[in-house]
Amino acid sequence: MKLGLHTLPNNLFVAPMAGVTDRPFRQLCKQLGAGYAVSEMIAGTHKSQTKKTIGFSEVKSFIKREVGETWVDEDGNNWEQKKGYKVKLGKLSELRNDLNSFPNCDKEVCTCTNPKRNDQKMKVIHGKCFDCVIDMEHNLKLNGGYGAYERTKMLQNGTAWLTQAKLEKEALKSAMKAKFINEDGSFEEWDGMSWLELEEKIDSEFELFQNNFIAKLETEDE
């Protein structure tokens, strides 16, 4: 068979298929008897192309960027290059970065790139990921400072718990007060005790508990 000035062994052609007809595939087809194997179509910006095709917009040049690099496109959008993909920066991106950042971690040794539940829990308390907290406490034990650190954390935890207990006490008082109010707005008595007397009893007993609790914390801190 002749095709112009070229003589072909047969009329069996391999059609051009994007992503399929690469050089090894064409060579294999020739070995199996194909008379003619067509390569893949080349892009319009191929370096061997000398003519411009009318009707197609000019393809933008490709810029290779490093991981972590940021830039602004022609529309004013901010982008950041990740490993294998790019991310458009905005409020959602800022929130994502804040969730994944640990301001008190030692950046030179911290390896937390995919925060887990324990990391987020330690961030609230220490501003560090879980592994960095473990390292910090280990170093404190080696340097003899873990005892003071432990007492400080115990006092902080106790104070935070006491603050929450105060809020729960006020919520309890509000719920109980509603049960003392009659439809006409007056207060009824329970077991001979008015609401004002009960409220005073709740406050006085909580104050006694609070004083004992603080005294115990201070004793353990000494």
Give Cβ neighbours of residue 95 (< 8 Å, ≥ 6 apart): none
Distance CA 137, CA 122 (A): 13
How many domains are contained in the chain? 3
Confidence of residue 56 (pLDDT cuts 50, 70, 90): very low
Same domain (yes/no): 24, 87: no
**Residues ≥6 apart with Cβ < 8 Å to 127:** 102, 103, 104, 105
pLDDT band at 48 (very low <50, low <70, confident <90, very high): low
**Structural domain that includes position 164:** 146-221
Domain annotation covers residue 56: no
Residue 58 lies in a domain: no
Residue 45 counted as domain residue: no
Tell how strand 36-37 and strand 13-14 pair up: parallel
Strands 2-3 and 70-72 come out as: unpaired
Give a yes or no: residue 59 inside a domain.
Answer: no
- pTM of the prediction? 0.40
pLDDT 10s digits, 148-185: 888 888 888 888 888 899 999 898 888 877 777 776 76
Query: Dihedral, CA atoms, 88, 89, 93, 97, nearest 10 degrees?
Result: 120
- Are residues 212 and 151 part of one domain? yes
Is 33 domain-assigned?
A: yes
Tokens of 167: 């809020």
List of residues 6+ apart from 159 with CB closer than 8 A: 217
